[in-house]
Amino acid sequence: MAKDRRLIDRLRRGRSEIENHLIDGLVDGRISRRDFMRHGSVLGLSLPLLSATTGAAGFELLLPSPARAATGGTIRVGQIVPAGAIDPVKIADGGGITVLSQVAENLVLSAPDLTAQPLLALSWSPNADGSVWTFKLRQGVKFHSGKEMTADDVVATFDRLTDPENGSNSLSAFTGVLSKGGTRKVDDYTVEFHLDAPNGGFPYVVSTDNYNAVILPADYAGDFEKDMNGTGPFKMVKYVPKQGASFERNPDYWGGAPNLDRVEITFYEDYQPQILAMLGGQLDVIEQIPVLQGAALLSNPDVTIISTPSSAHQEVHMRTDMAPFTDKRVRQAVALTLDRPKLVEGLMRGKAQIGNDSPFMPAFPSTDTSVAQRQIDLAQAKQLLEAAGMADGFEVELTTEKYLEIPQYAQVIQNAVQAIGGNIKLNIMDQGAYYGDAVPGNSPWLDSTMGITDYGHRGVPNVFLQAPLLSTGTWNSAHFNNKEYDGLVTSFVASLDLESQKDTAGKIQRLLLDETPIIYGYFYDFLTATRKGVTGVEPTAMSHLFLQRASV
Amino acid sequence: MKRLLLSVATLWLLSVLIFAGARMLPGNVGRAMLGPFADARAVEQLNHELGTDRPLLEQYATWIGGFVTGDLGESYAYRAPVAPFLWTALLNSAKLALVAFLMVVPLGLLGGTIAALYRDRAADRILSALGLAATIVPEFVSGIILILIFGVWLRWFPISATAPEGAGLLTQVYHLILPAIPLVLVLFGYIARMARAGMIEALDADYTRTAVLKGLSYPRVIWRHVLRNALLPTISVIATQTVYLIGGLVVIEILFQYQGIGSLIYTAANKKDFPMLQAGILSIGILFTATTLIADLLYALLDPRIRHGGDE
**Which residue does chain A place closest to B250, by CA atoms?**
A269
- On whether both B174 and B282 belong to a single domain, the answer is yes
The whole-number pLDDT of residue B310 equals: 45
**What pTM does this model have?**
0.86
Q: Cβ–Cβ of A85/B79 closer than 8 Å?
A: yes
Residue ranges, comma separated, of all CATH 3.40.190.10 domains in chain A are 68-104+232-300+535-552
Angle, vertex CA A13, rays to CA A11 and CA A17, nearest 5: 100
Q: Which residues pair with B74 in a beta bridge?
A: B81
The whole-number pLDDT of residue A439 equals: 86
- On whether both B106 and B63 belong to a single domain, the answer is no
DSSP annotation of A165 reads: G
- On whether both B59 and B126 belong to a single domain, the answer is no
- Tell me: the pLDDT tens digits for A74-131? 999 999 998 888 999 988 888 999 999 999 999 999 988 888 899 999 999 999 999 9
Cα distance from B77 to chain A (closest Cα, Å)?
4
Q: Compute the distance between CA of residue A283 and CA of residue B167 in angstroms, rounded to an integer.
A: 19
- On whether both B46 and B145 belong to a single domain, the answer is no
The ipTM of this complex is 0.83
Q: Look up the CATH number of domain A313-524.
A: 3.10.105.10
Cis ω before A362 (30° cut-off from 0): no
- Tell me: the pLDDT tens digits for A237-259? 999 988 999 999 999 999 999 99
- On whether both B11 and B91 belong to a single domain, the answer is no
Is residue A393 scored above 70 in pLDDT?
yes
- On whether both B191 and B228 belong to a single domain, the answer is yes
Taking the alpha carbons of B269, B275, B279, B282 in that order, is the dihedral positive or negative?
positive
Number of domains into which chain B is organized: 2
At what angle are helices A378-387 and A328-336 packed, to 10 degrees? 160
CB contacts of A271 in chain B (<8 Å) are none
Cα distance from A222 to chain B (closest Cα, Å)?
11
Q: Cβ–Cβ of B160/A277 closer than 8 Å?
A: yes
Among A412-421, B40-49, B74-83, name the one with the lowest average pLDDT. B40-49
Q: Determine, yes or no, domain membership for B37.
A: yes
Comparing CA positions, the residue from A267, A291, A263, A262 lying closest to residue A277 is: A267
Q: Which residues pair with A528 in a beta bridge?
A: A306
The whole-number pLDDT of residue A212 equals: 95
- On whether both B270 and B133 belong to a single domain, the answer is yes
Q: Look up the CATH number of domain A68-104+232-300+535-552.
A: 3.40.190.10
Pairs of CB atoms within 8 A across A/B: 135
- On whether both B190 and B277 belong to a single domain, the answer is yes
The whole-number pLDDT of residue A73 equals: 92
Give yes or no for a contact between B99 and B176, defined as CB atoms under 8 angstroms apart. Answer: yes
Rounded (10°) CA dihedral A326, A454, A456, A268: -170
- On whether both B205 and B306 belong to a single domain, the answer is yes
The whole-number pLDDT of residue A60 equals: 37
Is residue B216 scored above 90 in pLDDT?
no
Is residue A67 scored above 60 in pLDDT?
no
**Which residue does chain A place closest to B269, by CA atoms?**
A432
Task: Choose the mutation target among B33, B34, B264 for the interface with A, i.e. most A CBs under 10 Å.
Answer: B34
DSSP annotation of A187 reads: E
Among A33-42, A151-160, B147-156, name the one with the lowest average pLDDT. A33-42
Sheet (strand A394-401) strand order? A352-354, A518-524, A313-318, A450-455, A394-401, A422-429
**Closest Cβ opposite residue A445 in set B36, B85, B155:** B36
CATH code where residue B278 lies: 1.10.3720.10
Q: Determine, yes or no, domain membership for B271.
A: yes
Mean per-residue pLDDT, A39-61: 57
**What mean pLDDT is reported for chain A?**
89
Cα-Cα end-to-end distance for chain A: 41
Supply the range of the domain harboring residue B62: 2-68
Is residue B211 scored above 80 in pLDDT?
yes
Q: Cβ–Cβ of B43/A272 closer than 8 Å?
A: no
Q: Cβ–Cβ of B39/A437 closer than 8 Å?
A: no
Q: Cβ–Cβ of A164/B31 closer than 8 Å?
A: no
- On whether both B102 and B224 belong to a single domain, the answer is yes
* CATH 3.90.76.10 holds for A113-224: yes
- Tell me: the pLDDT tens digits for A486-497? 999 999 998 888
CB contacts of B151 in chain A (<8 Å) are 276, 279-280
Cα distance from A68 to chain B (closest Cα, Å)?
31
Give yes or no for a contact between B5 and B244, defined as CB atoms under 8 angstroms apart. Answer: no
Task: Choose the mutation target among A76, A91, A269 for the interface with B, i.e. most B CBs under 10 Å.
Answer: A269
Among A2-11, A208-217, B117-126, name the one with the lowest average pLDDT. A2-11
Q: Determine, yes or no, domain membership for B39.
A: yes
Task: Choose the mutation target among B165, B252, B257, B264 for the interface with A, i.e. most A CBs under 10 Å.
Answer: B257
Is residue B36 scored above 90 in pLDDT?
no
The whole-number pLDDT of residue A496 equals: 85
The whole-number pLDDT of residue B233 equals: 73
Residue ranges, comma separated, of all CATH 3.90.76.10 domains in chain A are 113-224
Cα distance from B189 to chain A (closest Cα, Å)?
27
- On whether both B48 and B90 belong to a single domain, the answer is no
Cα distance from A165 to chain B (closest Cα, Å)?
7
CB contacts of A279 in chain B (<8 Å) are 148, 151-152
Give yes or no for a contact between A412 and A385, defined as CB atoms under 8 angstroms apart. Answer: no
Q: Cβ–Cβ of A437/B31 closer than 8 Å?
A: yes
Is residue A403 scored above 60 in pLDDT?
yes
- 3 state SS of A217: coil
Residue ranges, comma separated, of all CATH 3.10.105.10 domains in chain A are 313-524
